[in-house]
Structure 1
Amino acid sequence: MKKVERNERIDTLDYLRGFSLLGIILVNILAMLSAQKPLPNTQDAFYQRFLFLFVEGRFYPIFSFLFGVGMYIFLTRAERKGKNATILFLRRIIVLFIFGFIHFIFQPGEALTVYASCGLILLPFYKVRKEINLAIGILLLILFAILAMKIFMTVPLILLGLAAGQYRVFEEITHKRKQITIFTVSAFLLAALGLFFQYQHMPLAPFNPFHINRFLTIGIMIGPIVSAFYVGILILLLQSQFFRKILSPLKSYGRMSLTNYVSQTVFILVVGKAFDLFRHITYLHTLYICLVIYFIQLLFSAIWLRFFQYGPLEWIWRLATYKEKP
């Protein structure tokens, strides 16, 4: 694999990681600040519906899938360097779990401990044939989606990411425009049908747990399909040098995904405490806070990576994994 191709592949993954972080915070902030339920026929009610149709359950599948791709890349590179890939990965997982455990104290809905646990479970699948991993991943994802078992969908999503790494999906990606276009159009048609079906079950009044179960269940079922469309359209945009430049802040944001994911929690809790926003904030106001956090994190990531190769938490993660200073 040529050096240029390897860099393009990594860049694409970083863009996708950054993109997924933008959506994850929009949902996490609602629970963390206990946002007030919107009143009928208000902008808050409209924004709530927008979130449940296009954001809730649409971005964490991307992050989970990318964790699987990163898992494959880490293991293969370790083997290529003649290192004990299994031992290094176990160290990496342990450190991630520690990060997640600390993060869980402040953000009970955090995902790092889940990823660490799933990574440990799926480690043996690294040696399994790619066709088998793909088949198992698809079947489990369909099963858990039909049953609306959101938390369990993380396992097949990571496994599918691992399989994508085995199939070298993100290598020489600039030469796969036709395949990506077909994938994106197919995902769009399926996602459009799914969203239309979900929209038919949208409650008229602001959401109440007693009458939105069907609506939310459908949302969980179609989530990975919508996520697939988001991934496909972003990859197609990145084929253009113009969009690569316009969206370049996402690349820096994604390169520091661990730091930015954890610091999102820090920003939310600090702002919530400083301005007494817990249970006193509206849905739309959470969006404004997220926009400010975007600006700060995107700017900080771009500046930081001008001087350093890794983000702060990424540097600690790498130090603990390899037991040598990066």
Structure 2
Amino acid sequence: MKTQTSPRLEGLDLARCLALVGMVLVNFRLAMGVEHGKPTWLAHAFEALQGRSAALFVVLAGMGFAMGLRRLARSEAIALTLRRSIFLVTLGMLNFLVFPADIIHYYGVYFLVGVVLLPLGSRALLGCMAGIVVAFPLLSFFLDYNQGWNWTTLEYAGFWTLPGFLRHLLFNGFHPALPWVAFLLWGMFLARTALHNTRTQVAMVVGGAACAFLAHWLSAEAIALWPAYADLFGVSPMPPMPLYMLAGAGVATSIIGLCLVIVARWGQFAGLRLLLPAGRMTLTLYIAHIFIGMGVLEAMGWLTGQGLVQVAVAATTYCLLALTFACVWTKFFEHGPLEWLMRRLTR
């Protein structure tokens, strides 16, 4: 029997759905090997999504993680997190064999760090988050961020060796634990706020947008003054320097706040409610967009020689099919297939 979802949680479902759509667009573009193209507005839209959709995903994961463990005893929370981390790392590594930009296996590490820091107070949690963000550029002065990478082909040499795997996982992969786990910690912090409160929601929208704007402004000014240090002051996700982390967290916070406001005010509109089921089964739909979506693109010969318009068409088609599947599935089942499997194996 299904349980009634609260308006607050439905706002998070909407945010997860939007994050999924953004991830599909970004990943299809990466899989199809389209770096540049026209129309210009579409190219700018894809660039805006790069690294922001994934950051939104991780912040939401942090919120769900903290909420899910809120009523559990410490020992039970640790045991559950350990089992789920093993599940996600295993699933993610299987996914990595098909799509090297997988984010799922990183979650296993994020959650382990999160459960260790879960007992901390909010200020201490923010302090850890800030320390992690600052630690990355400091570490990059001593370690070579480019080690292992062929940036032309996006291939990573030595991944299947222990040093290469750990380096990719913790420092210079697509979503390295240092500093990406800070997004999870920020989500854990947000979960402690009064998310049902309209003032909190509006503050998230305005404050998040202001932080994102500040990060981009500071980046532009700093690069203009010190062009030799463009990487250090950049807002691109690779390398994930502090201003990117600020921009990513700001965009994520603003979108989550906006989704909470929208669902609180207009949550009963039929068109809006069609988006919510997909937000409850993002793990299933994320894996499906790689194994099924990209598999279909490969069979069609679309993984090479296409443009941005074809990427947008492919991603939009997949998202519409995914939304339809989610709406039908949730009429009969409370959890998505992989969500059910994870709960079954880890509970």
On whether the aligned pair clears a TM of 0.5, the verdict is yes
Runs of 5+ in structure 1 lacking a partner? 203-210
Aligned partner of 2:205: which letter?
T
Aligned partner of 1:180: which letter?
Q
Is 1:179–2:196 an aligned residue pair? no
Alignment counterpart, residue 120 of structure 2, candidates 124, 128, 131: 128
- Cα distance in 1, alignment partners of residues 231 and 103 from structure 2: 25
Change over 3 Å in CA distance of 1:131–1:282 after alignment to 2: same
Residue 267 of structure 1 corresponds to which residue in structure 2?
A: 292
> How big is each residue's C-alpha offset from its partner over 1:178-228, in whole Å with a ceiling of 9 and x where there is no partner?
2321332233234345556778999xxxxxxxx9x6699234422322222
Aligned partner of 2:287: which letter?
V
Residue 164 of structure 1 corresponds to which residue in structure 2?
A: 190
Structure-to-structure mapping, 1:1-326, within 5 angstroms: 7-35=6-34, 37-38=36-37, 42-43=38-39, 45-52=40-47, 54-79=48-73, 84-141=76-133, 144=136, 151=176, 152-165=178-191, 167-170=192-195, 173=196, 176-192=197-213, 194-195=215-216, 217-220=234-237, 221=244, 222-241=247-266, 245-322=270-347
| Range with bigger deviation, 178-187 or 192-201 | 192-201
**Is the contact made by 1:93 and 1:119 (CA closer than 8 Å) also made in structure 2?**
yes
How many residues of Structure 1 are paired with residues of Structure 2 in the alignment? 299
**Is the contact made by 1:65 and 1:158 (CA closer than 8 Å) also made in structure 2?**
yes
Q: Whose helix fraction is larger, Structure 1's or Structure 2's?
A: 1
**Is the contact made by 2:56 and 2:252 (CA closer than 8 Å) also made in structure 1?**
yes
**Is the contact made by 1:237 and 1:243 (CA closer than 8 Å) also made in structure 2?**
no
The TM-score, its normalising length taken from structure 1, stands at: 0.80
> How big is each residue's C-alpha offset from its partner over 1:276-322, in whole Å with a ceiling of 9 and x where there is no partner?
11221112210000110011000000100000111111111111012
Aligned partner of 1:17: which letter?
R
SS at the partner of 2:275? Answer: helix
**Is the contact made by 1:237 and 1:244 (CA closer than 8 Å) also made in structure 2?**
no
Instruction: State the shift of 1:177 in Å.
Output: 1.0
- Cα distance in 2, alignment partners of residues 35 and 13 from structure 1: 31
SS at the partner of 1:273? Answer: helix
Instruction: State the shift of 1:32 in Å.
Output: 1.3
Instruction: State the shift of 1:145 in Å.
Output: 8.2
Aligned partner of 1:118: which letter?
Y
- Cα distance in 1, alignment partners of residues 319 and 233 from structure 2: 27
- Cα distance in 2, alignment partners of residues 279 and 168 from structure 1: 46
Runs of 5+ in structure 2 lacking a partner? 146-171, 238-243
- Cα distance in 1, alignment partners of residues 194 and 126 from structure 2: 12
Instruction: State the shift of 1:257 in Å.
Output: 0.9
- Cα distance in 1, alignment partners of residues 121 and 221 from structure 2: 41
Instruction: State the shift of 1:131 in Å.
Output: 2.3
- Cα distance in 2, alignment partners of residues 199 and 17 from structure 1: 30
**Is the contact made by 2:62 and 2:183 (CA closer than 8 Å) also made in structure 1?**
yes
**Is the contact made by 1:238 and 1:244 (CA closer than 8 Å) also made in structure 2?**
no
Change over 3 Å in CA distance of 1:285–1:157 after alignment to 2: same
**Is the contact made by 1:145 and 1:153 (CA closer than 8 Å) also made in structure 2?**
no
SS at the partner of 2:290? Answer: helix
- Cα distance in 2, alignment partners of residues 214 and 244 from structure 1: 44
Instruction: State the shift of 1:11 in Å.
Output: 2.0
Instruction: State the shift of 1:238 in Å.
Output: 1.8
SS at the partner of 1:84? Answer: helix
Change over 3 Å in CA distance of 1:16–1:88 after alignment to 2: same
The TM-score, its normalising length taken from structure 2, stands at: 0.76
